[in-house]
Amino acid sequence: MPVKPAVGTPAEVTQGSRTGGGVGESTLRPDGILKVTGEFAYASDMWHEDMLWGQVLRSPVAHAEILSVDTGEALATPGVHAVMTYDDLPTGVRTYGLEIQDTPVLAHGRVRHHGEPVAIVAADHPETARRAAARIRVEYRELPLVTDESSATAPGAPLLHEDRADHRAGHVPHPNVVHRQPIVRGDVAAARGRADFVVEGEYTFGMQDQAFLGPESGLAVPAEDGGVDLYVATQWLHADLRQIAPVLGLPEDKVRMTLSGVGGAFGGREDLSMQIHACLLALRTGRPVKIVYNRFESFFGHVHRHPARIHYEHGATKDGRLTHMKCRIVLDGGAYASTSAAVVGNAASLSAGPYVLDDVDIEALALYSNNPPCGAMRGFGAVQACFAYEAQMDRLADAVGMDRVGFRQLNAMSQGTVMPTGQRVDSPAPVAELLRRVKAMPMPPRRQWLAAGEQADVRELPGGLSNTTHGEGVVRGVGYAVGIKNVGFSEGFDDYSTARVRMEVVGGEAVATVHTAMAEVGQGGVTVLAQIARTELGVVRVTIQPADTRVGSAGSTSASRQTYVTGGAVRNACGLVREKVLELGRRRFGTYHPAWATAELLLEGGRVVTDGGEVLADLADVLGDEAVEVEEEWRHRPTEPFDLRTGQGFGHVQYSFAAHRAVVEVDTELGLVKVVELACAQDVGKALNPLSVIGQIQGGTVQGLGMALMEEIVVDPGTAKVRNPSFTDYLIPTILDTPDLPVDVLELADHHAPYGLRGVGEAPTLSSTPAVLAAIRDATGLELNRTPVRPEHLTGTA
């Protein structure tokens, strides 16, 4: 029996849609109503009548030698169909990884982090699978831990990956360093001598979880040809395929992947989780196998945002001009590489922030440790740097005696500025203007209870519904921050997307079908692709086919790149389809009207018209019984790797900018914070869907608020075990924590990009966190050099 598709997946809900408009219009999401009413089906809702359930056994310790694994009791459990360990894997490739293939499919010889997969089970009921996994007996001998830079690089430190063979291994100071990227430009020592003020700071950034709505899930179905069909929630179908097929010992054309409903991602679904395990069990048992993590497992099943230790030194003249910058950023990558090398590249190349700095000495590196693996998360290295350099800007402005916003504007980069990497910014960079706009927004009114001491609605007080304060000792603070983020894959990565566009007549009407492998993870890409097709082809009805590996790669839904790259591919494919349609029209009707040969022709409202508005034919008549189809790859301009010694190079294709103003109220006696408002101004180049753009900005803003005040995976330093793998103890903002979120959208076109657009989703996550911290500092006078801020940091009890 074939697998039942997830009812309400993006493809289905856009099928035959007549809603929405073209580029520049606020079009409602076709999956929106289904999601808010609970009718949308996610990957965890997939079902097959004769399916089995998969379960993963994870390591209870962070670093240990595996002495023995006994699966006998688990195999004897009624209802169990398979138990697999490393020794049961197909011969050949047994590791995977996005950039460096250092992650074992199942632990072999030793485990390197708390929660590492050791064995997998398939059973006829999920509870049976869990009980059987618990009956697998694993004997461990614990090993010394690597938990920070000192323990990672000390003489005699345990090597987590002794046999490193990746191309960066020769450029790191120690085998426990994943990657190191220096950037050196100008003469910092001489510039320091010109500085009237020098400010240094040490900053600590906590480990953040993506905390997506839908835990990891998918369904693997064995096929008659010996292959497997995998229905899964992911961010990058083709990268998954590239890693899965070699482990299964299958050619890629026998591993067919289809995107299922994705409940958020934010980088946490770039790496593999349950994909290989489900396929292995399906091929072993000959039955479909579904794996759905619970929330506890999800905290161990995906990478997190890198925690960081950061040191900055900035100098400035007495008139407020920046002289130089030195920084060192140490990111903890955890047990396996994931995307740590790319995160290092971003952290280093963006560590100067959106400011003019000619003299810099930068070092960023990522460690291997026995802490949880870290990789991609919204903002990708730039978030950690922005938190620290924006705190530095406030401290420098205070030292010079300048207004904090004015100091930033004085030093703000603009189009033509040369980055520390030597790359000249060749598109609009309206940093000073964004700061002006966000500062000019109306301030939220002060609450009357602050002035009069009257009782207020407890929901509006610091502490919220916990009602721990009545307004005594509450102080208001205002803070500003601005950030810079790259868009798209960088450092010479071959960044492209593929689109297949078909135009034909259905029911007497010309319709378009768009097929890409773009993962819709909640960002609204299916809406934008339909808008592009309507704009370019002049049709009303657009169908977005399910994303799968039967069309060329679209790359990852990350790096704010999909509208840019897959949107560019769809636009180009539509352009080729349009030319073929017009050629059909010229052949069929060209002899009847000279405009077919002489005029500029457009497709609008289902018709062929001249640029003067004269109608020449209906598209349905032009197409007749024919269909026009084009598959097109599209690449943005090439980038190049950063030099591993100097950090110079044209590394990024585009930059995006956002500025925030935070208004907070702090109970300084109890250490409670209420964020009253987080206002944002952001340049988006071109808002293809203004409503979605605002939603992306507001979502990124709230995610940054979470990092500022509550979100942190706590790892016990003595055991390297995660202490809070649940939403009971890992807190994320709710609607009660969400402040007013006014947004000012600026549209300054980047002529290198389709429609002049600029990636939107990540930039607001950068500057919202330091803006909140700046506002709390303004209210309390405290230094606050770590995030998230906890009550004890505000009351002096930490």
Residue carrying structure tokens 């959208």: 745
Distance between CA atoms of residues 304 and 373, nearest Å: 7
Confidence class of residue 166 from pLDDT cuts 50, 70 and 90?
Answer: confident
Which numeric CATH code is attached to 10-40+496-635?
3.30.365.10
Q: Which of 575, 419, 409 is nearest to 501 (CA)?
A: 575
Q: How far is CA 564 from CA 164, 576, 635, 684, in A?
A: 35, 18, 10, 11
Query: pLDDT at position 42, please?
Result: 96
Domain range summary for the chain, segments of one domain joined by +: 10-40+496-635, 44-143+215-262+269-301
Mean pLDDT of the chain: 94
Task: Indicate the pLDDT class of residue 454, thresholds 50, 70 and 90.
Answer: low
CB contact at 8 A, 490 and 421: no
Would you say residue 341 has pLDDT above 50? yes
**CA dist 580 to 503, 628, 786, Å?**
10, 7, 58
User: Is-above-0.75 flag for pTM?
Assistant: yes
Instruction: Count the neighbouring beta carbons within 10 Å of the beta carbon of residue 598.
Output: 9
**What integer is the mean pLDDT of 46-70?**
97
**Looking at residues 462-484, what average pLDDT do you find?**
89
Q: Given this model, what pLDDT does residue 62 score?
A: 98
* Strand intervals (E) in 299-437: 308-316, 322-332, 360-367
Flag whether pLDDT at 791 surpasses 90. Answer: yes
C-alpha of 467 from chain center? 35
The angle at the Cα of 52, spanning 48 to 53, to the nearest 5 degrees, equals: 110
Q: CA 183, CA 113: separation in Å to the nearest integer?
A: 31
pLDDT at residue 3, as a whole number: 42
Report the candidate in 747, 660, 222, 668 with the shortest Cα–Cα distance to residue 480.
Answer: 660
Are 636 and 408 a contacting pair, CB within 8 Å? no
Label residue 448 by pLDDT band (50, 70, 90).
low
Residue 508 confidence (pLDDT): 95
Q: Do domains 10-40+496-635 and 44-143+215-262+269-301 have the same CATH topology?
A: no
CATH of the domain spanning 44-143+215-262+269-301, picked from 3.40.50.1820, 3.90.1170.50, 3.20.20.70, 3.20.20.10: 3.90.1170.50
Q: What are the counts of helices (DSSP H) followed by strands (DSSP E) for the chain?
A: 21, 29
Mean pLDDT of 288-298: 97
Assess contact for 743 and 691: CB atoms under 8 A. Answer: no
* Alpha helix (H) residue ranges in 222-274: 237-248
pLDDT at 456: 67
